[in-house]
Chain A
Amino acid sequence: MGLLYGLIAVGLALIFGLMDVVNFAHGEFLMLAMYVTFFLFTFFAIDPLLSAPLAAAALFVLGAAVYLVIVRFAMRAKANVGMVQIFATFGLAIVMRGLAQLFFTADYRSVPNSWLGGKTVSVAGIYLPQPQLFGALVAIAAFGGLYLFINRTDFGRALEATREDPGAVALVGIDKNRVFALGWGLGGALVGLAGAIMATFFYIYPDVGASFALIAYVTVALGGFGSVFGAFAGGIVVGLVEATTALILPPSLKSVGIYAVYLLVVFIRPRGLFGSM
């Protein structure tokens, strides 16, 4: 489960952690990805495994569009940029929830009988649910890919440079909006992957994003802003803590452990585990 949190958080790590832009609609991105998966499954009988790239592509477009239409202008604000970003994306989140209610209704939906859903695999006598296991593998791959992408490609360097000093990169011919739009698209695509896998074992409803989004913020902050590896480590810590808390406390309190660990970590290390900002 921890790696799944990691997978949800990785897209946010890119947007929130690397570009330092607050996205309060992250949970709604996830919700939409789950619906995309659901509809592809219901109407075209495309299994979530196969539709995952489609969900990722859809969310790539959404992410880039959100940046170009909303966030670009929010970042331009002269006064209290942080609050403007928070509330512009929060407003977007409300709109998206409203749209989901309007078009998809508030019913709980699920993807039954997918290739992975409900099946388990036994590893050394321990039964692991397949969707979660697969999600974990995708998460590792996504983190690895993102890590290489950020550190080894020109685009990754351009992204980091743009965050550091948008004025200077303009001088060397990097278009800030292009870089950030691609960054948002990529962040969206990663959430798309997460949503496709989540759809196989989680109910889908308009408010589904909210609970995961908060944990995703905590995961990113726990790992430390500006660090992909941090978000990965954050995801694992969150998963482990949740599992441990579930043993001691009633299930309804399992998130308390996660939150408490976040507080403990930032009180000791105000920059998160591996943060650079």
Chain B
Amino acid sequence: MDKQFVERRRRDLITAAGLAAVAAIVPLFVKDVYVQNIMVLTLMYAALSQSWNILSGYCGQISLGHALYFGLGAYTTALLFTKFGVLPWFGMIAGGLISAAIAMALGYPCFRLGGHYFAIATIVIAEIGLLLIQNWDWAGAALGIDIPVRGDSWLKFQFTRSKLPYFYFALVLACVAWFVTWWLEDSKWGYWWRAVKDNPQAAESLGVVVFNSKMGAAAVSAFLVAVGGSFYAQFVSYIDPGSVMGFQFSLLMALPAVLGGIGTLWGPLLGAVILIPITELTRSYIGGSGRGVDLIVYGALIVLIALARPEGLVGLFSRRRKEATR
């Protein structure tokens, strides 16, 4: 382990702690609910994208079906709460564990597939999940679930008057996702994953158990995304299959990581901080007419960034860092 690398990792950690501290103070000055809303979404997408990045960025298994785990998290929490009165905190853990278990069960056959066949399999599986939920009457079918308001409390994780608690939870979520990535980056698993991504055959011959590595990445990734889904359900207090499990959502989750820098520690966060405010602002300022101008701007932006900086925006900030991560 060379000294430079250790130094860089320590700097990353300090930077992250500093950013988190700054972020924690911001809402004390920014009282506008609309802006706070955007901040919550930004942090949530940062966390989701970071989690997606673990499987698809570090381990190289491009999943376009992560909406499945997000939806599972959201639905598990919402169903447990509305039908059985289980507190969302337990629902969150349950959703995460269920998602991780399902990710591993699905990974068992899927990880034998390569390239496009794998990516399409992930889309198709998420789509099956979506269709099943849409037709499951007990779970609200296509109408979704309205989470009843039972008063503001941390215990029930419901807040109608203020967005602040959600903001802080989203911040914690983003920090946890970041920290898990940071920690894994220098762990045995992190090295295995990058080896699997670069050359699975060579990794296998050097004693990396490729299959188990992929399963591990899938489980961690799915768990974190599902927790994000649980959070989202509590945040918007109404979920329907299309909005939490749709195919578009799988892509939106991956987008910040891709634009920021796929397979990098800071990419997802950077991508989310740039992309989500733009998305929300274009939607509310020029999208109100319902005439699609916001979509044109947003889509064009994605095309431009993807073409102009295929390796992600992270490269703009530090070239050396990227080389060090390799």
Chain A interface (Cβ < 8 Å from any Cβ of B): 16, 22, 70, 73-74, 77-84, 86-88, 90-102, 105-106, 206, 210, 214, 217-218, 221, 225, 250, 252-253, 255-256, 259-260, 262-263, 266-267, 270-272
Please, how many angstroms separate the alpha-carbon atoms of A36 and B61 in the complex? Answer: 39
Which of chain A's residues have a CB closer than 8 A to the CB of B251? 86-87, 90
Nearest chain A residue, comparing its CB with the CB of B117: A266
Which of chain A's residues have a CB closer than 8 A to the CB of B132? 253, 256
Q: Beyond A83-B258, A84-B306, A214-B123, is A221–B116 a contact (Cβ under 8 Å)?
A: yes
Question: When the two chains form their complex, are residues B300 and A95 in contact, meaning their CB atoms are under 8 A apart?
Answer: yes
Question: When the two chains form their complex, are residues B135 and A80 in contact, meaning their CB atoms are under 8 A apart?
Answer: no
Question: When the two chains form their complex, are residues B134 and A252 in contact, meaning their CB atoms are under 8 A apart?
Answer: yes
Which of chain A's residues have a CB closer than 8 A to the CB of B112? 267, 270
Ordered by A's residue number, 9 sampled pairs between the chains whose C-beta atoms are within 8 Å are A70-B307, A77-B307, A78-B311, A87-B303, A88-B307, A98-B294, A252-B131, A252-B134, A259-B128
Question: When the two chains form their complex, are residues B290 and A106 in contact, meaning their CB atoms are under 8 A apart?
Answer: yes
Complex interface residues of chain B between 62 and 88 (CB less than 8 A to chain A):
62, 64
Question: When the two chains form their complex, are residues A263 and B292 in contact, meaning their CB atoms are under 8 A apart?
Answer: no
Question: When the two chains form their complex, are residues A95 and B299 in contact, meaning their CB atoms are under 8 A apart?
Answer: yes
Q: Which of B134, B262, B290, B292 contacts A80 (CB 8 A)?
A: B262
- Beyond contacts A87-B259, A87-B303, A252-B131: 13 other A-B pairs, Cβ-Cβ < 8 A, are A16-B116, A77-B311, A80-B258, A84-B307, A90-B251, A91-B306, A94-B302, A95-B303, A102-B296, A105-B291, A221-B120, A256-B128, A259-B124
Please, how many angstroms separate the alpha-carbon atoms of A80 and B259 in the complex? Answer: 11
B207 at the interface (CB under 8 A from A): no
Question: When the two chains form their complex, are residues A101 and B292 in contact, meaning their CB atoms are under 8 A apart?
Answer: yes
Chain B interface (Cβ < 8 Å from any Cβ of A): 62, 64, 109, 112-117, 119-121, 123-125, 127-128, 131-132, 134-135, 247, 251, 254-255, 258-259, 262-263, 290-304, 306-307, 310-312
User: In the complex, how many angstroms separate the beta carbon of A24 from the nearest chain B beta carbon?
Assistant: 8
Which of chain B's residues have a CB closer than 8 A to the CB of A270? 112-114, 117
Please, how many angstroms separate the alpha-carbon atoms of A263 and B105 in the complex? Answer: 14
Which of chain A's residues have a CB closer than 8 A to the CB of B134? 252
Question: When the two chains form their complex, are residues B135 and A90 in contact, meaning their CB atoms are under 8 A apart?
Answer: no
Question: When the two chains form their complex, are residues A271 and B117 in contact, meaning their CB atoms are under 8 A apart?
Answer: yes
Which of chain A's residues have a CB closer than 8 A to the CB of B294? 98
Most-contacted residue by chain B among A83, A217, A271 (CB, 10 A): A83
Question: When the two chains form their complex, are residues A102 and B293 in contact, meaning their CB atoms are under 8 A apart?
Answer: yes
Which of chain A's residues have a CB closer than 8 A to the CB of B310? 74, 77-81, 84
Question: When the two chains form their complex, are residues B303 and A88 in contact, meaning their CB atoms are under 8 A apart?
Answer: yes
Question: When the two chains form their complex, are residues B311 and A79 in contact, meaning their CB atoms are under 8 A apart?
Answer: yes
Please, how many angstroms separate the alpha-carbon atoms of A70 and B303 in the complex? Answer: 8
Nearest chain B residue, comparing its CB with the CB of A88: B306
5 A-B pairs with the lowest CB-CB distances in the bound complex, closest first: A98-B295, A101-B292, A94-B299, A91-B302, A77-B310
Please, how many angstroms separate the alpha-carbon atoms of A253 and B131 in the complex? Answer: 6
User: In the complex, how many angstroms separate the beta carbon of B251 from the nearest chain A beta carbon?
Assistant: 6
Which of chain B's residues have a CB closer than 8 A to the CB of A252? 131, 134-135
Question: When the two chains form their complex, are residues B123 and A217 in contact, meaning their CB atoms are under 8 A apart?
Answer: yes
Q: Beyond A80-B311, A214-B247, is A262–B124 a contact (Cβ under 8 Å)?
A: yes
Question: When the two chains form their complex, are residues B121 and A262 in contact, meaning their CB atoms are under 8 A apart?
Answer: yes
